[in-house]
Amino acid sequence: MKPLKVGIIGAGGHAQSHFSMVIKEQEMDLVAVAELDKERLESVYEKYGPFQTFFDYRTMLDSCDLDVVYVITMPGHLTGPVIDCLDRGLHTSIEKPAGMTSEDTEQMLAASLKSSGKAIVSVNRRYMPHILAAKQLILSRGGAVHVAATYNKPVTVLGTAATEGIAPAPIICDAIHHVDLLRWMSGEAMDKAADPLEVYAQSWSGQREGSFRYNAMVAFENGSRGVMMSHYGVGYRIQRFEAHAEDLSIYMDLTGSPVVEVYSEGTVVEDALDLNAVGGPDFDETRHFVECIRENKEPWSTLGDVVQTMRLCEHIASGTLGKTNN
């Protein structure tokens, strides 16, 4: 079977991990890249080429016979290119967040429902082998009863005057990773995320611009509960997560390479996570997307699902107190 021909729109910082995954994937062939910035384009060509290069993504779409396009731009620039790709029937990978607002996500969703191409949103925590193995273990105990996430960073430019119109508040643009993880780890099946029913959130800012602060408690429709804590303008980049089921607790530090602690019935469990059972240690969202395309399956992070994550982020950002009415 011939490799899928891939084009990438955007070659900034967030694109680098996607370049690496595409190059590593044996069933993909990177044939074209579109990027407005000449230096960025030359840099990725030197590192990942050869491929055709374009300054205008529309010219790339018109000139190349592509199967898959990765759209990796700032949120404010995302919606148009995504809809253009889906309107052409191309399988489309969409950088998170899926737009500036959930309304942007809904526009992309409407295009995807009319498209012969599949769409996946890059909420990449869902595809991390350690996360998947932890979820498998949680489900073996009847599912999550409680999940909690910490996502802290120094002061950010996201959501400030410096990124007005191109990047929303950081709970949507950045900490969405762990908001989505609350939903994912609360899901009742390996391929399902839980939908929020109630949110009790506080959203405020410190004295410095870019020091956003968020605390939230979330009740999910399936009975699981979640807590989200995200603070910008603090001492260090820390990303931690925990999930609890009956007689089982899993603590994960995701700041760097995953560090996992598992406890069952009051005892430490060594080597509790079976990565081979969830695709192996090298599994990632690109491998999953290839499988979905080849086997005609829906990705785990469709636009129809991720719009729920976008809305939950917006509820946290606005300080919702009560039912979500999603």
- Of 124, 150, 174, which residue sits at a domain end? 124
Percentage of the residues of the chain whose pLDDT score is greater than 90:
98
Same domain assignment for residues 154 and 119: no
Q: Which residues, listed in sequence order, are joined to residue 69 by a DSSP beta bridge?
A: 7, 92
Longest CA–CA separation in the chain, Å: 61
CATH number of the domain enclosing 197: 3.30.360.10
pLDDT per position as a tens digit, 97-152: 999 999 999 999 999 999 999 999 999 999 999 999 999 999 999 999 999 999 99
The mean pLDDT value for 287-314 works out to: 98
- Of 124, 146, 164, which residue sits at a domain end? 124
Using alpha carbons, select from 324, 315, 323, 326 the residue that is nearest to residue 201.
315
| Gap between the Cα atoms of 301 and 286, Å rounded | 12
Q: 151: domain range? A: 125-278+302-323
The mean pLDDT value for 293-311 works out to: 98
pLDDT per position as a tens digit, 207-218: 999 999 999 999
Same domain assignment for residues 257 and 202: yes
Count of CB atoms situated within 10 Å of the CB of 157: 12
What global pTM score does this model have?
Answer: 0.96
Same domain assignment for residues 155 and 193: yes
| Gap between the Cα atoms of 159 and 176, Å rounded | 13
Answer whether residue 326 shows pLDDT above 70: no
Answer whether residue 225 shows pLDDT above 80: yes
The mean pLDDT value for 40-65 works out to: 97
Query: Is the N-terminal amide bond of 281 cis, ω within 30° of 0?
Result: no
Domains: count for the chain: 2
Same domain assignment for residues 106 and 164: no
pLDDT band of residue 65 (cuts 50, 70, 90) is very high
